[in-house]
Structure 1
Amino acid sequence: MKVQNTYLIVLLFLFQVPVFAQREGAIEYEQEFIAGINFNTNAGLIGGITLRYTKLLFESKTQFHNFGLDLGIVKHPKELRYANQSGAGSFIAYKSHHLVVLRPTYGREFVLFHKGNEDGVQLDLIINGGLSFGILTPYYIQYQQPNSTVSESIPYSPDIPNFAITSIISSSGYLTGFGESKIVPGLHLKTGFSFEYGHFSNKVTGIEAGFLLEAFTQKMVMMEAPANDPGYFKNNQVFTSVYINIFYGGRK
C-alpha cells in the first residue's frame, strides 16, 4: 500500500508540470526512439524495460503512431523472502513460478503541449495496447529431505512429499527452470502521460506515468500453499498497476 501511495504522489506532482509547458514553435521532428527503465506497483525495485518508436501521422501536426515493446516483471503481492536457518541462502516461501511478461504494443500519441525549440517540457497523452505473453517459469529450490544430508534442486510444488519449509536451503536461481517455461497469452491496455524534457531538439529525456490493465487466458499461478498448510494465496487472471517509465532517446 505504501508503494502505491508513493506512485500516486509522484503522478499528482507530474500532472502539475504542464502548467509550465511551452506552446511556442512547431513540432520539428517526425520520428522518435526511446529506451527506458520501468517501475510499477506489481514488481519490486525495478519492474522491467521499455522501448518505444513513434512516427508522425500523415498530414498531422500533433498525432503519432506509437510502436513499443515492454518486458516486465510481475510479482505476487504476498511474496516474502526468508533466510535459511543457517543463513547460507534465501528463498520465497510457497512461490511456484516466476512471471515475466513480454508486451508488443501499438497505439497513438497525442501532443497536448509542445516545448520550445531548445528548452521546456512537452506533454503527450499515450494510449496503446496489444498482446501480452506471460512467461511462467518454475521456481526451483534447493531442498533437503527430512533425515537426509544431501540437498537437491527441485521445482517447488505443494505436492512435495512430507514438505517442510525448514527443509528449503535456498532458491536455485531464475535460469534453472527457464527451459520449462510456459507461455500464456493475454491482452493489455495502457494509458499514460509522457513528460519530455530536453535542451536540444534531437535528444529527449523524460518520464512516462500511467495505468496498465492486463488479462490472461488463465490464472497466473505464482504461489501455492500445501494442502496441510493454512496459508492461502489468490492467483489472478487480471492485473492492474500504476507505472512510471524513465526514458532517454533521440528524434529526427
Structure 2
Amino acid sequence: MKAQKIFFSGLISLVFLSGSLGAQNILTQLQNDKDQNVVYSGQALGGAFLHSNGWGLFFEKAKILSIYKLWFWEVQTANMSSPRQVKIQNSAYPDAKSYYFGKLNSMQVFRFGTGMNRRLFRKNNLRCVEVDAVYSAGASIAAVKPVWLEIIPANSEQIPYSAQYDPTVDNPSNIYGGASFFDGLNQLRLYPGGYAKLGLNFDYANKYNTLKEIETGIIVDVYPAVIPIMAYVKNNQVFVNLYISFGFGKRWY
C-alpha cells in the first residue's frame, strides 16, 4: 500500500512537471512568434565595406514601414583608388619612402542618400537568414587632393624638398618618396555628383531586435567632370564598383 502511494505520488508529480514544461515551451513559442510578427518602428546600424577600388565606412538609420518594407537614409565615406596605381620605391636610396608613381590626386568619396529595403525571404525563426533587396540613391561628393612628393633637386646637396607631383618633370630617378599627407590640403577640390546602389542584404542575427548583416551589390558614382587620379592613363567621371559590407545594429519599438 505504501509503495502504491509512493508510485501514484511520483506519477502525479511527473504529470504536473510535464504539463509545466509543455506550457513553458508553448509560452516560449508564442513569444518567439510574437517577436517575429512585431512591427518595430525603426532601426540603425553601422559598419565597414570593401569595394573594387578601396574600402569605406557607413551609417544607416531606417523607419520600418511594415514587416516587408523599410525606408532608410545613409551616410558613407570611401577612398577611391585607381586599379592602375602601383607603389614603388627609389632603389638608389635604401631609406626612401614608397609612393604611387603617376598618381596625380587622392580621392575620398562622401555619399548622402536614401533608399528602400524590400523583404524577399522573411526570417521565420532565429535559425533562418532574412534576405532583402536594397536600392538607394543620393548625392556623391568627391574630395580630391593633389599628391605631393619629396623631390631630389639637381644640385650637389640633393636634399629632398616637398612639391606637388608634376608628371612632365618628375620621374622615378628624382623622386625620393611620398610627402606628408597634410601637404596639398589647401588645394583640396570638391566634385559634386550623384550615386545609385543596388544590392542584396542578408540578416543572420540570432535575436529579432538586433542586426547582423552582410550586404553585397553594385554602386555607381557619377560626376559632371572627369576626375584626374592618374597621369598617363584615361581617367573617368563614372566609377562602377562591386561591394560587400558588414554591419551591426539594433531595432526598437
- Scaled by the length of structure 1, what TM-score is found? 0.80
In 2, Cα distance between equivalents of 1:185 and 1:218? 9
Q: Measure, in 2, the Cα distance between the counterparts of 1:55 and 1:176.
A: 42
Shift in CA distance, 120/164, structure 1 to aligned 2, threshold 3 Å: same
Deviation string for 1:181-238 (max 9, x for gaps)? 10001111101011011111221112110001111011010111xxxxxxx3111011
| Distance in 2, Cα, partners of 1:31 & 1:71 | 23
In the alignment, the residues of structure 2 paired with residue 70 and residue 96 of structure 1 have an alpha-carbon distance, to the nearest angstrom, of: 24
Amino acid at match of 2:68: T
Show the counterpart of 1:6: none
- Matched letter for residue 205 of structure 1: K
CA distance in 1, matches of 2:245, 2:89: 32
Which of 185, 200, 208 is 1:201 aligned to? 208
Which of 127, 133, 136 is the aligned partner of 2:135? Answer: 127
**Greater relative contact order, per chain length (Cα 8 Å cut-off, separation 6+):** 1
Alignment partner of 1:87: what SS? Answer: coil
Distance in 2, Cα, partners of 1:118 & 1:188: 34
Amino acid at match of 2:178: S
Task: Kindly report the root-mean-square deviation, in angstroms, between the aligned alpha carbons of the 2 structures.
Answer: 1.7
**Residues 1:187 and 2:187 are matched in the alignment:** no
Q: Superposed, which structure 2 residues align to 1:71-150 within 5 Å?
A: 71-85=77-91, 86-88=93-95, 89-116=97-124, 118-147=126-155, 148-150=157-159
Quote the Cα distance in structure 1 between the aligned partners of 2:41 and 2:134.
Answer: 16
Q: Which residue of 2 aligns with 1:240?
A: 240
Number of residues of Structure 1 aligned to a counterpart in Structure 2: 215
Match of 1:154 in 2: 163
Q: CA deviation at 1:118?
A: 3.8
Q: Secondary structure at the match of 1:135?
A: strand
Q: Which has the larger radius of gyration?
A: 2
Match of 1:175 among 176, 182, 189: 182
In the other structure, the counterpart of 1:37 is 48
For 1:27 and 1:171, locate their aligned partners in 2 and report how far apart those are by CA, in whole Å.
Answer: 55
Tell me by how many angstroms 1:27 deviates: 5.0
Output the TM-score relative to the length of structure 2: 0.80
Q: 2 CA distance for matches of 1:187 and 1:209?
A: 20
Aligned to 2:226: 219
CA contact 1:140–1:155 (8 Å) conserved in 2: yes
Name the SS for the 1:179 alignment partner: helix
Residue type of the partner of 1:81?
Answer: K
Structure-1 separation of matches of 2:234 and 2:40: 47
The amino acid across from 1:36 in the alignment is G
Which range moves more in the overlay, 29-38 or 143-152? 143-152
| 2:177 counterpart of 1:166 | no
2:61 alignment counterpart = 53
Deviation (angstroms), 1:63: 1.3
Contact 2:36 2:208 in 1 (8 A): no
Q: Which has the higher helix share?
A: 2
Counting aligned pairs with the same residue, the percent is 24
